[in-house]
């Protein structure tokens, strides 16, 4: 497969029927990048997160959200975090996916960084059990939340889903775990497309 070396086409430039294949191709061409200092690749991390969702019998939209939560890092031109910047990868992913998938998929993705900030703020011990990479990115992502932001986050209709994705995110860092191919999730992704008849 041809590595993707420039900015991805806008999702509006890709027919929705081809979006799933484009995403799976991203895992095949870009997924072997290091996951921000963790002992797994981006591809392994995504597959482990999706597998945790599947094992908890999460609904298909949440399994897709787990699989795709960090796809913002696989879209080209998103390597700034390695240089100490915060790239808002969650916004980038949710925005890019939003023409193809509904808010049950995109909102937990958009909120998964806020969910980390929330858990670090409200749950005793959560911060200390984060990996060093995750602690480092927390500072870049804005640190702890204010009381007002905690309350606003709890009112979000996708709050619970975002927290679930976040917990899978933190667990999905096991080196060498055997996982199925991303194409295992093709049917789930196609079923969630906003225009399923286009598949």
Residues 6+ apart with CB under 8 A from 1: 25, 28, 29
The position carrying tokens 């939209």 is 61
The residue (of 70 and 193) whose beta carbon lies closer to Fe ion is 70
Count the site residues for Fe ion by CB under 5 A.
Answer: 2
Kindly report the number of other CB atoms within 10 A of residue 152's CB atom.
Answer: 13
Interface residue with Fe ion, options 44, 51, 90, 169 (CB under 5 A) = 169
Residues 6+ apart with CB under 8 A from 14: 22
Radius of gyration of the chain (CA): 16
Please provide the size of the chain in residues.
199
The residue (of 43 and 61) whose beta carbon lies closer to Fe ion is 43
The position carrying tokens 């191919």 is 181
The residue (of 19 and 74) whose beta carbon lies closer to Fe ion is 74
The residue (of 61 and 69) whose beta carbon lies closer to Fe ion is 69
Interface residue with Fe ion, options 51, 70, 78, 90 (CB under 5 A) = 70
Q: Is 44 in the site for Fe ion (CB under 5 A)?
A: no
Q: Cβ of residue 92: shortest distance to Fe ion, in angstroms?
A: 13
Question: What residues make contact with Fe ion under the rule CB under 5 A?
Answer: 70, 169
């Amino acid at each position: 497969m041809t590595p993707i070396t420039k900015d991805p086409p806008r999702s509006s430039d890709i027919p929705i029927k081809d979006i799933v294949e484009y995403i799976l191709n991203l895992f095949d061409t870009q997924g072997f990048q290091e996951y921000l200092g963790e002992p797994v690749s981006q591809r392994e991390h995504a597959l482990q997160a999706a597998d945790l969702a599947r094992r908890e019998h999460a609904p298909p939209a949440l399994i897709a959200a787990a699989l795709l939560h960090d796809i913002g890092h696989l879209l080209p031109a998103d390597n700034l975090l390695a240089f100490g910047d915060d790239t808002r990868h969650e916004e980038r992913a949710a925005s890019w996916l939003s023409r193809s998938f509904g808010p049950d998929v995109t909102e937990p993705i958009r909120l998964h960084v806020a969910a980390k900030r929330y858990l670090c703020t409200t749950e005793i011990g959560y911060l200390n059990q984060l990996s060093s990479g995750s602690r480092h990115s927390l500072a870049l992502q804005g640190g702890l939340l204010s009381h007002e932001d905690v309350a606003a986050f709890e009112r979000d209709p996708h709050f619970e889903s975002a927290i679930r994705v976040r917990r899978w995110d933190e667990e999905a860092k096991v080196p060498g775990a055997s996982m199925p191919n991303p194409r295992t999730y093709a049917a789930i992704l196609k079923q969630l497309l906003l225009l399923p008849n286009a598949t």
